[in-house]
Structure 1
């Protein structure tokens, strides 16, 4: 009789943990206008929340948002201190610690472009011209492989593209690197003095994909599996394309196995 009671209590405890597991998802968000806003606002906002809210509402799950610099957000996700982050480029290194959702909701055929002050009369015609220049890079961001692995370049970590532009205007760096489409859009939204900036001739064209990523621990939960399934349904039904359209992003491809 005692064994049966104990077994029943054990099952109740298990059920309680199961319920607790699916009541909240922690989303880390960095300040990256126009795709996300965390500074000078009452509540964080942006595309990743536009996508997740209808899913979590259907599932009866609460979203907890944590605002952080990009590199800190990545660290929290990798350490399992957060569950979800958006807008991440998929790399072999990141795949060792994170789980990426497909299809990507940001799909750009753009360039990694280097920006300088127009008045600096600086010219970068090929990759080798980058040497000896102070280059602002967003801390923790992924670019193209040669650039990311090159330890001989003078890279100056910054917390956002906005800070990179400000450092450029103050002559604290010579260049900053950004995805051309998103950087141009962000600078126009932030009303930064783009007329003072020049795009350098050298650039690296690439297909650039921004994904939702889960921490490995969260990816193993039933909640993550349900979010993944609903997310892919939204891609196939055109709902994701409707959500990304106001951000001037191209249609999201359908999901296929």
Structure 2
């Protein structure tokens, strides 16, 4: 009996350690914990297909984004995202084929006098130096496209640290920041959840920047060896086309 119990404990311990750990910050509607704490959104729906694993084989961990990146670098999580490819991240991650096409925009409050003329012009911002007198919400570890990133990362640009997207929308609503850069459905989700008036907010011109989100796999994860098969499944399933219709 003791022998059988020992075998069962060993089996269950192995099964627990064999779980794939998925990590992200809350980024609804793509990936976030629902009211019961269960993972929800587009990513939890497609990951079992991409990885060719049952949902039960995946464990989700939600953390601030900077910690997500740190955990992937240490190898304590297997796969993170959605995210953008950057040279810094490529040091400790390998990347899948794109899975989501997103429009990233500069969101402001309509009643902010600092952006009144920019809103009235109703054109995408092409010269980001026009935004030099504004204060931006910054989520540590986030990356941006080359055009905006080159401006945003300058030390003289005024930035206020925010923990996550939800806090960023709250700070924009309360005028503690002037601009918040985000994937449109994420902003719209929090505006709805926080019961804010969407009409109080505006995008500076049309959607400013289209990006392709990928998933990042820690170079210390066993999933690295499966990357060719993962990418082939993404292509075969035509996920990018389905998710952007």
Q: TM class by shorter-chain length?
A: 0.7 to 0.9
Which residue matches 1:238?
237
The answer to whether 1:70 aligns with 2:71 is: no
Deviations along 1:207-233, whole A, 9 cap, x unmatched?
Answer: 411111111111xx3x4423x344333
Q: Against the structure 1 CA distance between its residues 35 and 192, is the aligned structure 2 distance closer, same or farther, given a 3 Å change threshold? A: farther
Distance across 2 between alignment mates of 1:172 and 1:154: 12
Determine helix, strand or coil for the equivalent of 2:170.
helix
**Residue 170 (structure 1) shift:** 1.4
Distance across 2 between alignment mates of 1:39 and 1:235: 26
Q: How many residues align?
A: 220
The answer to whether 1:200 aligns with 2:204 is: yes
The answer to whether 1:168 aligns with 2:172 is: yes
Q: Against the structure 1 CA distance between its residues 36 and 58, is the aligned structure 2 distance closer, same or farther, given a 3 Å change threshold? A: closer
Distance across 1 between alignment mates of 2:21 and 2:151: 32
**TM-score scaled by structure 1?**
0.72
Distance across 2 between alignment mates of 1:50 and 1:230: 18
Determine helix, strand or coil for the equivalent of 1:178.
strand
Unaligned ranges ≥5, structure 2: 1-10, 119-124
Contact 2:169–2:191 (Cα < 8 Å) also in 1: no
**TM-score scaled by structure 2?**
0.75
Determine helix, strand or coil for the equivalent of 1:232.
helix
Deviations along 1:183-223, whole A, 9 cap, x unmatched?
Answer: 4553465354221112224x7844411111111111xx3x4
Which residue matches 1:150?
154
Q: Against the structure 1 CA distance between its residues 21 and 97, is the aligned structure 2 distance closer, same or farther, given a 3 Å change threshold? A: farther
Determine helix, strand or coil for the equivalent of 1:211.
strand
Which residue matches 1:225?
225
The answer to whether 1:107 aligns with 2:101 is: yes
Q: Against the structure 1 CA distance between its residues 132 and 231, is the aligned structure 2 distance closer, same or farther, given a 3 Å change threshold? A: same
Determine helix, strand or coil for the equivalent of 1:92.
coil
Which residue matches 2:219?
216
The answer to whether 1:29 aligns with 2:24 is: yes
Match of 1:93 among 83, 88, 95: 88
Unaligned ranges ≥5, structure 1: 1-15, 252-257
Contact 1:116–1:122 (Cα < 8 Å) also in 2: no
Deviations along 1:149-196, whole A, 9 cap, x unmatched?
Answer: 3111011121222211111121211221123x4445534653542211
